[in-house]
Amino acid sequence: MLPLTRWHAGGVEDIDLARRVRDVSRLSGRFVLRSGRVSEEYFDKYQFEADPVLLDALAQRMAALVPDRVEVLAGLEMGGIAVVTALGRRTGLPCAFVRKAAKSYGTARLAEGAEIAGRRVLVVEDVVTSGGQVVASSRQLRDLGARIEDAVCVIDRREGGSEALSAEGIRLRALLTREDLERA
C-alpha cells in the first residue's frame, strides 16, 4: 500500500476551468452512482467531454499531471475514452482503449490500440468516486503485463477513490476535486 498522496493541479487557471466544468456538468437531484451510493449531486461527464473546446482545455492542463516515465495512456470505457484521446493529442503518447470486459468477437481484447504489456501505463478516467472501476481495470491490465503506478482523472469526488487506489499501489492525480467545483 502506498502512502496516500493527493496530486492536484490547482492554480488560478483552474478556477475558471472548474467553473466551466461545474456550469456545464453539475446536476442536482437524486442519483445512484456506480458504487451504489446515492448522491444529491452528479457530474454529467458527457457534458464536458462533448464540448471539444472545454475537453481540449482540460487535456492541456492534465498534461502536466502525466509522469515523465509513462509510455502509454489507457482510457477506461466509456467516459475515459474521450479524455484519453484528447490527452494523447496533447502529450503525443500512444493510447489504449480499455473495455470493462474483453469482447468475445474480433480481436477479443480487453485493451485496444497501443500495446501495454511490459510498458508503463497511466490509467485515465473522467470522474473518480470510490475508485472501483479504476481498481478493477488496473488489475486486469496488470494481468496483461502493464506496469501501473499512477492514474489521472478530471474530477476526484474525494469519496474514497484515492484510498482504494493507494491500497493497490496506484497514486491518483486529479485535475479538479469536488471542492474545486464547489469553490468555483
Burial class (CB within 10 angstroms; exposed 0-12, middle 13-18, buried 19+) of 182: exposed
Sign, CA dihedral 183-73-120-139, equals positive
Q: Is 126 annotated as a binding residue?
A: yes
Q: How far is CA 8 from the centre of its chain?
A: 13
Q: For 179, how many CA atoms within 13 A lie in the half-sphere containing its CB?
A: 6
Q: Is 24 annotated as a binding residue?
A: no
Q: Is 69 annotated as a binding residue?
A: no
DSSP state of 46: H
Q: Is 34 annotated as a binding residue?
A: yes
Q: Is 22 annotated as a binding residue?
A: no
Q: Distance between CA 53 and CA 163 in Å, rounded?
A: 32
Q: Is 29 annotated as a binding residue?
A: no
Q: Is 123 annotated as a binding residue?
A: no
Q: Is 132 annotated as a binding residue?
A: yes
Q: Is 12 annotated as a binding residue?
A: no
Which residue, among 121, 168, 113, has the nearest Cα to 148 in the 3D structure? 121
Q: Is 47 annotated as a binding residue?
A: no
Q: Is 88 annotated as a binding residue?
A: no
Q: Is 79 annotated as a binding residue?
A: no
Which three three-digit cell numbers place residue 92? 503525443
**Pairing outcome for strands 38-43 and 72-76:** unpaired
* β-bridge partners, 111: 98
Which residues make up each annotated binding site for 5-phospho-alpha-D-ribose 1-diphosphate?
Answer: 34, 99-100, 103, 125-133
Which residue positions form the known binding site? Answer: 34, 99-100, 103, 125-133, 157
Which residue ranges make up the annotated binding site for orotate? 129, 157
